[in-house]
């Protein structure tokens, strides 16, 4: 409850006080985390297998939305591109959480998400989940969104310097930490205090990111996003002043000038 309240007030503060590339997707990610953590808290609070499973089912739409929204945020922040502009990608982005939500909601009829072997632990405080084929299928569909985000951020780190680089490294940590926790949970059954640690890891990461905003360590995330885009872009970009003096250039511009000079020499 403490983590949830802290995250909630931070979300309100960011929504009202900060502007940056991909803000709406960042907000959706934050809301998904709040949804997930709330459902997790209710699952811990209630007793009895039936109630715990109900809250586990309620958590799943947010689990499906979170990696997709986070991927959209990273794409918009780093490359300045909104993936929802593509009709095909928009259909996938909307369809994946919808299919997963329907599959979870109908689990009592087919038991593909949590099988009938799911039962309370011996002390009755938690659920020992027996995951079905739909659970692993959902993970297989959602993981590429997170992996793509990590790849985009790594590429950005290799291509940028200064404040933008520090920010991208922070975002990599925020992305990899819950991914690693979830992989450990899915593959080995690793838990923290008997629960899936993924949502807590992501919550702490977002809170740390927000703390950096509070302390003005990231003063203008929109400018940093443009800086990352400047270096990553495959298009040649030159920055000139009013006297037409070249101030800066990206790697694509260097490659373009080199190829033109080589063509002239030939």
> Residue 231's pLDDT is what?
61
> pLDDT grade, residue 265 (50/70/90)?
very low
Please state the φ and ψ torsions of residue 262, each to the nearest 5 degrees: -65, -40
Tell me: the pLDDT tens digits for 43-83? 888 888 999 999 999 999 999 999 999 999 989 888 888 98
Paired sense of beta strands 238-240 and 127-128, if any = unpaired
Task: Tell me the C-alpha distance between 98 and 86, whole Å.
Answer: 18
Task: Give CA–CA dist 85/206, Å, rounded.
Answer: 26
Confidence of residue 219 (pLDDT cuts 50, 70, 90): very low
């Amino acid at each position: 409850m403490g983590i949830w309240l802290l995250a909630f007030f931070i979300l309100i503060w960011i929504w009202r006080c900060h502007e940056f590339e991909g803000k709406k997707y960042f907000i959706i990610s934050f809301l998904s985390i709040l949804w997930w953590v709330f459902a997790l808290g209710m699952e811990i609070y209630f007793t009895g297998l039936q109630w715990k499973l109900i809250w586990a089912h309620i958590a799943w739409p947010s689990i499906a939305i979170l990696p997709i929204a986070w991927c959209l945020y990273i794409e918009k922040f780093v490359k300045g591109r909104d993936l929802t502009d593509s009709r095909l990608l928009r259909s996938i982005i909307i369809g994946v959480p919808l299919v997963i939500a329907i599959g979870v909601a109908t689990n009592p009829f087919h038991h593909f998400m949590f099988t009938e072997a799911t039962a309370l632990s011996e002390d009755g405080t938690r659920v020992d989940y027996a995951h079905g084929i739909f659970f692993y299928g959902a993970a297989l569909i959602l993981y590429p969104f997170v992996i793509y985000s990590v790849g985009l951020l790594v590429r950005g780190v290799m291509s940028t310097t200064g404040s933008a680089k520090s920010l991208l490294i922070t975002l990599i940590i925020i992305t990899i930490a819950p991914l690693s926790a979830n992989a450990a949970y899915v593959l080995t059954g690793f838990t923290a205090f008997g629960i899936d640690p993924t949502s807590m890891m992501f919550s702490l990461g977002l809170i740390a990111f927000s703390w950096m905003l509070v302390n003005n360590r990231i003063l203008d995330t929109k400018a940093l996003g443009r800086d990352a885009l400047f270096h990553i872009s495959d298009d040649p970009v030159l920055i000139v002043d009013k006297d037409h003096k070249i101030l800066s250039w990206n790697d694509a511009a260097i490659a373009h000038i080199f190829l033109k000079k080589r063509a002239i020499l030939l």
